[in-house]
Amino acid sequence: MNTSTQFPGSAEDAEREALRYAACLPGEEILFPEGRWVQQPSLYRSALQALRSEIEIIRQEWKSDEGFSPIEHIKTRIKEPDSILDKLSRLGVKPTLDHTIERIHDLAGMRIVFAFVTDIYLLLDRIDRHPNLQILWTKDYIMNPKPNGYRSLHAELSVPVMFAGRLCHVRVEVQMRTLAMDFWASLEHILLYKYDRRVPDHLVRELSSAAGAAGELDHKMLALRSEVLSLSDEDEQ
Ligand code: GTP
Ligand code: MG
């Protein structure tokens, strides 16, 4: 697995070109009129479409080999202007195009939700062996959950896209999680949003224990799947 985060100059140039137009830049300062993209950056849209179709192909192959699809659903998003400006301010840098490209690596994001936890690693392995896709790094919050209990596998991929007549390698941040992890993360997000991230200690403890329960549910479902598979093997004999 390649851990390099270096990109060929042409990809950065393409990002700059795509963002300059989409963020309505007079110079280097980012404007985002009315807090919106003027037009969503087409480079990232294309990268998400390209990645989605590669994953769909893997999903179909998997379905015909194994008889089921490990993927429940896929969502994609391009980071909202407010969230870009928030992140740049958290990082303590000026809202410029260069800082956006250098410091924000999740402008294009994909979330893949699975039924079973082991399938996350199988898909990661297929992506790793895919000739067009490159894994730049992974953060495994499943093996090493965050202190609040958050679990998911994050990976940054480099996706080849033809843009303005040249081949560019675009970064896409992918989050892979089970239905149980997704359920927990979605509710935790709603709760934290509501409480403006100032959550009392006892609630943090409760959330973390709920994350543990979601983890146990994943283990239980895996064990049930093994049992069901062994039953169907017996039936075939
Ligand atoms: P961002 O500034 O959000 O990109 O964080 P980061 O660059 O430090 O990366 P990290 O891997 O911590 O988080 C990236 C994304 O994962 C977030 O934008 C969320 O979508 C998700 N995430 C990470 N931690 C949590 C969490 O504790 N709760 C929930 N609900 N989502 C989380
Ligand atoms: Mg991030």
Q: Which atom of ligand 1 is closest in space to residue 106's alpha carbon?
A: 4
User: What's residue 33's pLDDT?
Assistant: 86
H-run or E-run covering 22: helix 9-22
From the CB of 182, is ligand 1 less than 6 Å away? Answer: no
CA of 103 to the centre of ligand 2 (A): 10
The values of phi and psi at residue 161, to 5°, are -140, 140
Report the mean per-residue pLDDT for the chain. Answer: 89
Considering the chain, what percentage of its residues have pLDDT values greater than 90? 62
CA neighbor of 133 nearest in space, from 124, 142, 146 = 124
Distances, alpha carbon 218 to alpha carbons 78, 180, 225, in Å: 29, 7, 11
Q: Which atom of ligand 1 is closest in space to residue 185's alpha carbon?
A: 30
From the CB of 189, is ligand 1 less than 6 Å away? Answer: yes
Q: Which residues are catalytic?
A: 173
Q: Which pLDDT tens digit goes with each residue over 5-47? A: 444 456 778 888 888 888 877 667 888 888 889 888 999 999 9
Confidence of residue 237 (pLDDT cuts 50, 70, 90): low
Q: Which pLDDT tens digit goes with each residue over 160-212? A: 999 878 899 999 999 999 999 999 999 998 888 666 667 788 888 899 999 99
